[in-house]
Structure 1
Amino acid sequence: MDLIGRAERLCGAGLPDRVLRERLLAAVAAAVPFDAHVFTLTDPVTRVASSPHATVPTAAMEQLPTLIRQRYASADAVDWLRWLGRFGVTDLVRVPFEDRYGAWGWLELWRTGGAPYSQDDRAVLAALRPAVTRGLRLAAARTFVDPAADLPQIEPGVLVLDRELRVQSLTDAAGAALLRLLPPDEPVPPVPAAAYNVGAALLARDDDAQPWEPSTRVHLGGNRWVSVRAAPLGSDVAVSIGPATAAERTDLLARVHALSPRETEVLGLAVHGLDSRAIASRLVIAPTTAEDHLRALLAKTGSPSRQVLMSRVLGT
């Protein structure tokens, strides 16, 4: 089976996002060899990275905060590759996975010697985009169905970083959240990449390097999603970590299920408790049309009832 066929099969297998990425990487490696990689999920709106799967040179891993900060500050791929040269990286190719509903992640492959990526290599990787984009989006959609039973609640917390993204202080709740955000098998310092990424995005924006919005939503097991945001705190960076709000979850559920703008609007009103007649009045449409939209929401999200849909949206 060719690479595209394997990718389509994997993306249709209902795998969790991390398992999906691991198997996609194995398939890619057989067709387009690489020496290091970063395969990350992103917030569909802000495009800030949230959950990376990576193998990079040891020297680069030892400078992880600096590496991430430079990634956001780099003007383009040429600038980024030039900076990565200090770690022996000689060529890279980056494949974004985006559709009209948002940006779901990207894959970056590095080579540390040998031949650069050929045009054929780049064409093969670009051809993966439709299948993998849809696969990542649907993997996110499945998280709204996963039960959260027996999973601990996430309490809001704050982490303070300096401008080099070194930890200065953190609340107890932030420390607990960090441990849950960080996969136990990852060989990195005990600060998840999401915190580094929002911090780096803030610094890049403040330095007028790039117009990043310093926030990202991260899946935390079951149907739980947390919001990670960065804001200035004097000369430092304050990173807040807490449960995603109802509005953030509503937006995300609408995107992962490919809802239309009108369906998204109806969903938002339903989340606020409006019935079909009130929704019709608010949107100046016929009550039967509002009911049609609600039925479409149930069908697209695979929800057997409005009560189940609201539970999935709110994570209750």
Structure 2
Amino acid sequence: MPSARELLDRVERHCRADHTATRLRQIVLADLRAAVPFDGHVFTLTDPVTRIGTSPVADLVGMRLARLPELIRLRYLTVATRWSDLLDRGTAATSLRIDTGGDPARSRVWREVLHELDVFDTATVVFGDRYGCWGFLELLRKSPRAFDPTQLTTLAALAAPITRGLRTALGRTFVAEEGELAPAGPAAVVLGPDLRMRGQTPAAAAALLRLNPPQEAMPPIPNSAYNAGAALLAAEHGVPVGPPWSRVHLGGARWLTVRADRLGTEDIAVSLAPSTLAERLDLFGRAHTLSTREAQVLGLLAAGLESPHMASDLGIPEHTANDHVKAILAKSGVRTRQELLSRALGIV
């Protein structure tokens, strides 16, 4: 079994490598299993602004896929160990047994789902920084053995490097790939109050299937749609996580925005449409750690302004505007303004 220091060193090396977000999570989970044993896991990316889940890597200890909407709905409605609440209170990691004072029955998701799966304890780690919330990890144990404080300290120490690794991996998705995929069109599904699908638009099936991991034998409804719907329900129940929308990478330079809203008194409409330029620019800036001023400059570059006009709009000297552009190029790993805008805007 590796020591906490050895584990941290290994994870930091993984997070500095050029892994995709999915591969990084898989490697980290493999290392974690040897140091902090667990029986199941949910390692989910989140939109950095809304904190809504998008793309999971999960093994739910034998749970039937038909119960997935129920689990997601209850996870958003349960404040105990919820990733957004950990972030709000400045706690990197906690466990179900600790957060409920030793009484997991105080957690609704445990009472109604996890208890039936013989889950004894869970440990949750949140990955957030000044640029947003990039994901969370939940480890599940079926054996009657709780996560101890030493293990939670080990998990908390991993939060900072994993946060950087996930954010950097997301930034690399803005690099155009060879053989770009066709643009994604708008689609929509209708979910009931239990988040089960009631209907979809004709264009939805193909678009939704693209959002599911290809190895998953799941109905063609992505977790991002369930999560957006669950976020809407959480807000309506007075326990909000964030606005019910998220941006999801669809491959190549494509990003979709998934958004939930009420359709009548019971149903929830979830729309999936190509992310707007503003949504892409915001995500690009956060992933590449742009300052507030640098993000403003990037927006003006995307609007077609040259340095003199940017300087005038921002009320700064032209040489300062050029310095900001140079800083953006350096952080984005590109040499020219054209290449920068190609990546940020998804123009091939």
Q: Same fold (TM over 0.5)?
A: yes
Matched, 1:9 2:23: no
Q: Distance in 2 between matches of 1:184 and 1:152?
A: 18
Q: 5+ unaligned residues in a row in structure 2: which ranges?
A: 82-99, 101-106
Structure 1's 211 and 197: CA in aligned 2 closer, same or farther, altered over 3 A? closer
Give the match for residue 210 of structure 1: 240
Give the match for residue 315 of structure 1: 346
Q: Distance in 1 between matches of 2:150 and 2:76?
A: 28
Q: Distance in 2 between matches of 1:263 and 1:249?
A: 15
Matched, 1:277 2:308: yes
Q: Distance in 2 between matches of 1:204 and 1:148?
A: 40
Give the match for residue 132 of structure 1: 162
- Asked if 2 retains the 8 angstrom alpha-carbon contact of 1:144 and 1:312, the reply is yes
What SS class does the counterpart of residue 58 from structure 1 fall into? Answer: coil
Give the match for residue 112 of structure 1: 142
Listed as ranges, the matches of 1:78-157 within 5 Å are: 78=100, 79=107, 80-83=109-112, 84-147=114-177, 149-157=179-187
What SS class does the counterpart of residue 33 from structure 1 fall into? Answer: coil
Letter of the 1:303 counterpart: V
Q: Distance in 2 between matches of 1:171 and 1:216?
A: 20
Give the match for residue 42 of structure 2: 38
Give the match for residue 220 of structure 1: 250
Return the TM-score normalized by structure 2: 0.88
Matched, 1:56 2:35: no
Q: Distance in 2 between matches of 1:188 and 1:215?
A: 22
What SS class does the counterpart of residue 151 from structure 1 fall into? Answer: coil
1:172 Cα deviation from its structure 2 partner: 2.0
Matched, 1:165 2:195: yes
Aligned residues between the structures: 316
- Asked if 2 retains the 8 angstrom alpha-carbon contact of 1:217 and 1:228, the reply is yes
1:82 Cα deviation from its structure 2 partner: 4.3
Q: Distance in 2 between matches of 1:302 and 1:23?
A: 25
- Asked if 2 retains the 8 angstrom alpha-carbon contact of 1:81 and 1:91, the reply is no
Q: Distance in 2 between matches of 1:271 and 1:190?
A: 35
1:165 Cα deviation from its structure 2 partner: 0.9
Listed as ranges, the matches of 1:246-261 within 5 Å are: 246-261=277-292
Listed as ranges, the matches of 1:182-193 within 5 Å are: 182-193=212-223
Q: Distance in 2 between matches of 1:314 and 1:306?
A: 12
- Asked if 2 retains the 8 angstrom alpha-carbon contact of 1:218 and 1:226, the reply is yes
What SS class does the counterpart of residue 63 from structure 1 fall into? Answer: helix
- Asked if 2 retains the 8 angstrom alpha-carbon contact of 1:146 and 1:222, the reply is yes
Farther-moved stretch of structure 1 (214-223 vs 74-83): 74-83
Q: Distance in 2 between matches of 1:204 and 1:275?
A: 44
What SS class does the counterpart of residue 134 from structure 2 fall into? Answer: strand
- Asked if 2 retains the 8 angstrom alpha-carbon contact of 1:60 and 1:67, the reply is no
Letter of the 2:270 counterpart: V
- RMSD (CA atoms): 1.4
Return the TM-score normalized by structure 1: 0.97
Percent identity of paired positions between Structure 1 and Structure 2: 49
1:75 Cα deviation from its structure 2 partner: 2.1
- Asked if 2 retains the 8 angstrom alpha-carbon contact of 1:46 and 1:214, the reply is yes
1:149 Cα deviation from its structure 2 partner: 2.7
- Asked if 2 retains the 8 angstrom alpha-carbon contact of 1:217 and 1:226, the reply is yes
1:88 Cα deviation from its structure 2 partner: 1.3
Q: Distance in 1 between matches of 2:178 and 2:206?
A: 17
1:148 Cα deviation from its structure 2 partner: 5.9
Letter of the 1:236 counterpart: D
- Asked if 1 retains the 8 angstrom alpha-carbon contact of 2:231 and 2:244, the reply is yes
- Asked if 2 retains the 8 angstrom alpha-carbon contact of 1:178 and 1:190, the reply is yes
Q: Distance in 2 between matches of 1:270 and 1:4?
A: 39
Letter of the 1:44 counterpart: P
